[in-house]
Structure 1
Amino acid sequence: MVTLVETRHRLTADDAESMDVGTLAMLGMLRRDVRRSSAAPLIYGRRGVYAVVVPDAMDVQAYAVDSAVHLLLMLSRVGRVPDFKVIGVDNGGWTSEFDSRRGSGALRALQRLQTRFRRIIFVGKLDDFSNLHVDVRAMMDGDVTMSERPHIEHLRGAMISVFGAVVTSADVVEAYRGDVELWSACMAQRTYLRDALTRMIAVLDAREHEAAREILKTATAAVPTVDLSETPTLDEMHGLGEAGEWARQLIEDLAAYGRGELPWSEIDRGALLSGPPGSGKTTFARSLAKSAGVRLIATSVTNWMSPAKGDGSFGPCVREMKRSFSDAAKSAPCVLFIDEIDAIGTRGETDKNSRWMHDFCNALLECVDGFEQRVGVVVVGATNYPDDVDPALRRSGRLDRHIRIPLPDAEARVAIMRWYLRGVADDLDLSPLVNRTNGLSGADLEKACRGARRRARRDGNRAVTIDDIAAELPAVRPVSAAASRIYAVHEAGHAVVAQLLGGAEIVDVSIVRELLVDVEAQPGGGLSRADYQPGNLSREQLIDEITVLLGGIAAEEVVLGRRYTGSGGHPQSDLARATSIAAGLHGTHGLGRQLTLVGLLSDDAQLMLRHPDVRRAVEETLQGCLARARNLVTEHRDAIDDIAERLVEHGRVSGSEIAEIVDRQLRLRLITH
Structure 2
Amino acid sequence: MDIVEFLEIVNSVQPSRSKPRPPWKLSQPDDEDFITLPVYLAFCLIAAAARPWNKKNAKFKVILCLSEEGSVPIFTTAARVFLKCVADYKLGTRPFVSDWSDRHSFRNQFEVQRSDRAIFLKEPKTELDDEARLFADAVVDVPARTRSHVEAAFKRLGLPITDRDVGLLLLEPWSRLDKAFQEGRSPTLALQRLRQYPRPDTPAAAPVAKIGGPTLADMHGYGPVVDWGNDLAQDIDDYRAGRIQWADVDDGVLLSGPTGTGKTTFMRALANSCGVSIIVGSFSTWQSAGSLDHFLRAMRKAFAEAKKNAPSILFVDEADTYGSRNSGDHNDSYWTAAIAGFLELLDGFHGREGVVVVAACNHVNRLDPAIRRAGRLDRHFEIALPDTQSRLSILKFHSGIELDPSQGDMFCMATEGFSGADIEQLARDARRAARRHREVLSGIHVIAQLRTLRELSDDFVRNLAVHEAGHALVVMEIGHGEVTEVRISRYRIEGKSSELGFVQYGEMGARAKTRADYLNAIAVCLGGIAAEKEVFGCFSDGASGSEDADLNRATEIATMLEGARGMGHTLLVEDPVDQLERLRTYNPEFRRRVHDLLQSEFDRVKSIIRSRRTALDAIVERLMETRMLSGDEVAEIVQRHRMPTVSLAKLPRRMGEG
**Structure 1 length-normalised TM:** 0.49
Larger Rg: 1
Task: Flag the structure with more relative contact order, 1 or 2, with Cα contacts below 8 A and sequence separation at least 6.
Answer: 1
